């Protein structure tokens, strides 16, 4: 039998209607006579709803949570974060990889049959064993074509299986029962669960497709239904006959297992990333990347993790120019292709009448913004490590953020405008396609970023939008290689006009530079939180 599928009601318009119809048809076909009536979630707890009551007891994680594993002995659970940290709730702490410099993020976790230990698995196939969990091998030393995404335990042998995104299964101290590695998958595999007698396992792909091996029974899938949110994990029911799939929005799909509710009706801060069933299969926990835990059915809420808001996100800050540029015209005057536009490698920047340089201002504000964003959990990379070097060229500055697939990038500058001009401006890209670049995909997000950053900067500093360039503090630019070459959302902020006496006094005041950094950091954070939810 199969439970109903609840989707997020906020989906509107033709696509949402089509999905609802498709799901409804599927439910009618699939539900067998005598299936129990669907139950609403009896208990729903998340980090958001419980913060007020238990703030002091909520541990903080600087990395996103990636999985939840049940301690079937105690009824508690463990949460694992991508940096290897493990948080036990009603479950003993047996060790973690938080102090280890991981080559690759942790992506999954599994417990031993007596719950006296657990394993963590990283994307590179590395396995870490704690408590009475036995290390039986890993893929950590082997180059994998596709990252490992999940693991499951063979309770009969104490061994385990790893599964990669391409469906390849790696067995360690456990029988190999088959894999999807040779199939042409429509979507990557994202999760794995073992049967209770450990004679088999299921794999699930992001499109809801399910693959059964050994004595695992295929009880249905979402593979033929268009999903608004990808499936991110699965859990096996205790009686071995079925399983649940969970989507990034917390929607739960039950196949041969009782539907106990979902978070599909809630608006989540961050995507659901994992699922674990209770010992008797009468409930399950869902966990979000933000550490929020949702206990459904007979699963008991024992606590959650507060993940720093920008954990797992990479921000690139590009302090314009460099201190050594002025003495190295042979380098910085070299022409580069800025995306169909030839421009110099870099420039020296401007300075105030009394000689306070733009590169020094840019670098100081960048360091301050970096510190603020790191405190929120972001990985912050500067395009230059000091204020005494030369360059890098503007195309390389863009390439740094592109290579890191940064969630957002910002170039920090101060302008050399007319002496009578006051205020700041945010330069935002317009679409430019060249033989070496195409920034069309970032124009929309960058425009949104520009407006958010403009508001945040004005609010933090009190500095007005420029009275000599752009419109309301926004300038659309097609002539900046740093924006034309970017493949990540990016803008450039001219924080003030260094050639204006009023603004020149501001930029030389460290307290104002801190306000400028606060405005930039706040703008980026607000943008990232909007971007994460859409």
Residues with a known catalytic role: 494
Nearer to Zn ion, 261 or 349 (CB): 349
Contacts (Cβ under 8 Å, ≥6 apart) of 47: 58, 269, 288, 290, 291, 292, 293, 304, 305, 306
Nearer to Zn ion, 323 or 349 (CB): 349
Contact region with Zn ion (CB under 5 A), list: 272-280, 306-314, 344-352, 474-482: 344-352
What minimum distance in Å lies between the beta carbon of 320 and Zn ion? Answer: 4
Is 198 within 8 Å of 154 (Cβ atoms)? yes
What minimum distance in Å lies between the beta carbon of 247 and Zn ion? Answer: 45
What minimum distance in Å lies between the beta carbon of 452 and Zn ion? Answer: 22
DSSP code of residue 275 = E
3-state helix, strand, coil in the chain (%, to 5): 25, 30, 50
When CB distances to Zn ion are compared, the closest residue is 413
Nearer to Zn ion, 189 or 520 (CB): 520
Across 224-271, the runs of DSSP E, i.e. the strands, are 231-236, 243-247, 252-255
Nearer to Zn ion, 233 or 349 (CB): 349
Contact region with Zn ion (CB under 5 A), list: 143-151, 246-254, 291-299, 316-324: 316-324
Which residues, numbered 380-439, are part of the site for Zn ion (CB under 5 A)? 413
CA dist list (Å): 158 to 118, 196, 211: 11, 13, 23
354 three-state secondary structure: coil
Which residues, numbered 347-366, are part of the site for Zn ion (CB under 5 A)? 349
What minimum distance in Å lies between the beta carbon of 358 and Zn ion? Answer: 5
The tokens for 316 are 């690139």
- Per the DSSP assignment, residues forming a β-bridge with 320 are none
Nearer to Zn ion, 208 or 482 (CB): 482
When asked if residue 3 is in the footprint of Zn ion (CB under 5 A), the reply is: no
The tokens for 63 are 């990395």
Contacts (Cβ under 8 Å, ≥6 apart) of 279: 70, 72, 75, 238
When asked if residue 320 is in the footprint of Zn ion (CB under 5 A), the reply is: yes
527 three-state secondary structure: helix
Dihedral (C-alpha) 309, 311, 312, 313: value to the nearest 10 degrees?
A: 60
What minimum distance in Å lies between the beta carbon of 496 and Zn ion? Answer: 11
The tokens for 481 are 């290689």
Nearer to Zn ion, 168 or 320 (CB): 320
Contacts (Cβ under 8 Å, ≥6 apart) of 514: 368
What minimum distance in Å lies between the beta carbon of 349 and Zn ion? Answer: 4
Contact region with Zn ion (CB under 5 A), list: 39-47, 117-125, 236-244, 313-321: 313-321
Nearer to Zn ion, 349 or 482 (CB): 349
DSSP code of residue 55 = G
34 phi and psi, to 5 degrees? 90, 0
- Per the DSSP assignment, residues forming a β-bridge with 433 are 438
What minimum distance in Å lies between the beta carbon of 513 and Zn ion? Answer: 15
Q: b/e string for 15-30 if b means 16 or more Cβ within 10 A?
A: eeeebeeebeebeeeb
What minimum distance in Å lies between the beta carbon of 346 and Zn ion? Answer: 10
How many residues bind Zn ion (CB under 5 A)? The answer is: 3
H or E segment to which residue 359 belongs: helix 358-375
Nearer to Zn ion, 8 or 413 (CB): 413
Is 527 within 8 Å of 452 (Cβ atoms)? yes
Is 402 within 8 Å of 487 (Cβ atoms)? yes
What minimum distance in Å lies between the beta carbon of 245 and Zn ion? Answer: 51
Nearer to Zn ion, 290 or 346 (CB): 346
164 phi and psi, to 5 degrees? -100, 165
Contacts with Zn ion by CB under 5 A lie at 320, 349, 413
């Amino acid at each position: 039998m199969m439970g109903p599928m609840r989707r997020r009601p906020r989906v509107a318009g033709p696509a949402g209607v089509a999905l609802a119809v498709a799901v409804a048809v599927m439910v009618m076909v699939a539900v067998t006579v005598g299936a129990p009536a669907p139950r609403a979630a009896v208990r729903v707890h998340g980090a958001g709803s419980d913060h007020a009551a238990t703030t002091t007891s909520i541990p903080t994680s600087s990395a996103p949570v990636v999985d939840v594993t049940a301690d079937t002995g105690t009824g508690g659970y463990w949460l694992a974060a991508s940096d290897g940290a493990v948080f036990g709730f009603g479950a003993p702490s047996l060790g973690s990889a938080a102090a280890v410099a991981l080559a690759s993020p942790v992506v999954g976790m599994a417990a031993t049959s007596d719950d006296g230990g657990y394993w963590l698995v990283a994307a590179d196939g590395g396995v870490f064993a704690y408590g009475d969990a036995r290390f039986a091998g890993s893929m950590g030393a082997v180059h994998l074509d596709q990252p490992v995404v999940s693991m499951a335990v063979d309770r009969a042998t104490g061994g385990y299986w790893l599964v990669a995104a391409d469906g390849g299964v790696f067995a360690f101290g456990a029988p190999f029962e088959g894999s999807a590695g040779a199939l042409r998958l429509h979507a990557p595999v994202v999760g794995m669960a073992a049967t209770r007698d450990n004679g088999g396992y299921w794999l699930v792909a992001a499109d809801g497709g399910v693959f059964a091996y050994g004595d695992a029974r295929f009880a249905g899938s979402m593979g033929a239904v268009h999903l608004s949110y990808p499936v991110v994990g699965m859990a096996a029911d205790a009686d071995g006959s079925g399983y649940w799939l969970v989507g990034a929005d917390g929607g739960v799909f039950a196949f041969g297992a009782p539907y106990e509710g979902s978070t599909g009706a809630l608006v989540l801060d961050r995507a659901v990333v994992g699922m674990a069933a209770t010992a008797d299969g009468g409930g399950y926990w869902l966990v979000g990347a933000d550490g929020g835990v949702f206990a459904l059915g007979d699963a008991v809420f024992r606590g959650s993790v507060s993940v720093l808001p920008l954990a797992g996100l990479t921000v690139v800050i590009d302090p314009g120019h460099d201190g050594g540029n002025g003495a190295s015209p042979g380098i910085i005057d070299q022409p580069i292709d800025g995306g169909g536009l030839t421009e110099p490698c870099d420039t020296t920047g401007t300075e105030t009448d009394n000689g306070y340089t733009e590169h020094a201002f840019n670098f100081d504000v960048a360091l301050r913004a970096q510190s603020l964003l790191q405190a929120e959990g972001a990985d912050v990379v500067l395009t230059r490590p000091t204020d005494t070097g030369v360059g890098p060229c503007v195309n390389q500055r863009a390439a740094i953020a592109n290579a890191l697939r940064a969630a957002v990038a910002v170039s920090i500058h101060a302008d050399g405008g007319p002496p009578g001009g006051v205020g700041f401006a945010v330069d935002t890209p317009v679409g430019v396609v060249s033989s070496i670049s195409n920034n069309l995909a970032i124009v929309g997000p960058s425009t949104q970023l520009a407006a958010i950053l403009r508001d945040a900067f004005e609010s933090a500093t009190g500095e007005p939008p420029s009275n000599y360039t752009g419109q309301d503090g926004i300038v659309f630019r097609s002539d900046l290689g740093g924006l034309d070459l970017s493949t990540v959302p990016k803008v450039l902020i001219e924080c003030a006009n260094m050639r204006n006496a009023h603004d020149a006094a501001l930029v030389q005041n460290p307290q104002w530079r801190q306000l400028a950094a606060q405005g930039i950091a706040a703008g980026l954070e607000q943008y990232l939180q909007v971007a994460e939810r859409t």
